[in-house]
């Protein structure tokens, strides 16, 4: 068996920690299944912006496969889908069709543009049945940091919440059947998130003003504020020592989901901050893959 480095993806932090960090680890691997990669696929337009995605899938001529949308981090003001290249490759080798989409970022594009684009990517994916071996009733979403927030927004909202946008494939559903968040913020109305750096660099650019001026917008952008009728299963992975997004955020969303009859698991990485490596990284990836297999490969 060979040893190689796997990248789960760049964890784009909320801006407070500076540049993007990369989650990486080395594991022993058996020979890898063959996969097919496609880059720079146009999945839509938003104003004068062209939205693209990258796609990875098994190349064994079988299927259909469940699908996973992988959302990059970047504090809603940056980041790049290329952060998720290794993530979609790992998922394709696991038996998924995986995509990493663009989404518009602030301050040029304020909330809910980022959510609209992620929903657009889910609808696009479902519309490709026939072109790609996708099982359209089994679509999951994975996100890192701000991407974890967006993944959870997809999990708690539906067409009645007014966040679908005007992208194509309106006849397709943007609902997802499984959600994984790594260190995602869940309640933007919580003062524990309102450090001066995070407000200045992230929340005010995203939401158009400070909390006292835009309370409705902060609430609308908070997954914990929704009460979905039939939420999908959630896996929330969080470091116990995260000072950027306190772990209480993950527990708050899990509690809300259980209140409405949903399923939510919180995996606590002891001693980890907003990013992690080594054994915690191995554990988080194992938990993600096991959870996706359990929920999407029934």
Indicate if 222 belongs to the active site.
no
- Compute φ and ψ for 198, nearest 5 degrees: -70, -40
- What are the residue ranges of helices labelled H in 128-225? 146-156, 196-198, 204-207, 215-220
Q: How many residues does the chain have?
A: 298
Question: 98, 70 in Cβ contact below 8 A?
Answer: yes
Q: How far is CA 250 from the centre of its chain?
A: 14
With a CB cutoff of 8 Å and minimum separation 6, the contacts of 167 are 44, 46, 116, 117, 119, 120, 123, 124
User: Active site residue: 102, 117, 158, 242, which one?
Assistant: 242
Q: Is 274 a catalytic residue?
A: yes
d(CA 139, CA 116): 17
- DSSP class of residue 132 equals B
Alpha-carbon distance of 140 to 288, in angstroms, equals 11
Whether 145 sits among the annotated catalytic residues: the reply is yes
**Residue tagged active-site, from 72, 120, 169, 274:** 274
User: In sequence order, what DSSP letters do the residues of 52-67 get, joined into one string?
Assistant: EEEEEEE-SS---EEE
The residue from 145, 174, 222, 284 that is catalytic is 145
Side-chain half-sphere of 9: how many Cα atoms within 13 Å? 33
If we measure between CA atoms, which residue out of 9, 6, 4 comes closest to residue 180?
9
Name the residues annotated as catalytic: 145, 242, 274
């Amino acid at each position: 068996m060979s040893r190689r480095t796997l990248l789960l993806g760049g964890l784009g932090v909320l801006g407070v920690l500076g540049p993007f960090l990369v989650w990486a680890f080395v594991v022993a691997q058996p020979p890898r299944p063959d996969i097919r990669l496609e880059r720079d696929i146009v999945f839509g337009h938003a104003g004068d912006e062209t939205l693209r995605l990258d796609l990875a899938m098994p190349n064994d001529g079988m299927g259909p496969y469940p699908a996973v949308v992988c959302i990059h981090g970047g504090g809603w003001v940056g980041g790049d889908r290329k952060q998720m290249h290794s993530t979609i490759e790992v998922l394709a080798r696991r038996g998924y069709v995986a995509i990493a989409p663009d989404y518009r970022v602030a301050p040029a594009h304020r909330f809910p543009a980022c959510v609209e684009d992620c929903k657009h990517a889910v609808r696009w994916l479902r519309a490709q049945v026939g072109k790609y071996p996708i099982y359209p009733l089994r679509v999951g979403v994975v996100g890192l940091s701000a991407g974890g927030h967006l993944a959870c927004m997809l999990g708690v909202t539906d067409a009645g919440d007014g966040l679908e946008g005007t992208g194509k494939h309106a006849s397709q559903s943007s609902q997802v059947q499984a959600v994984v968040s790594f260190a995602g913020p869940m309640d933007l109305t919580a003062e524990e998130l309102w450090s001066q750096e995070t407000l200045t660099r992230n929340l005010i650019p995203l939401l158009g003003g400070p909390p006292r001026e835009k309370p409705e917008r902060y609430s609308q952008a908070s997954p914990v504020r929704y009460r979905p009728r039939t939420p999908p299963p959630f896996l929330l992975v969080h470091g116990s020592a995260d000072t950027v997004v306190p772990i209480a955020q993950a527990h708050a969303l899990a509690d809300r989901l259980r209140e409405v009859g949903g399923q939510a698991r919180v995996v606590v990485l002891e001693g980890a901050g907003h990013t992690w490596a080594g054994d915690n990284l191995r554990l988080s990836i194992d938990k993600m893959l096991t959870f996706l297999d359990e929920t999407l490969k029934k």
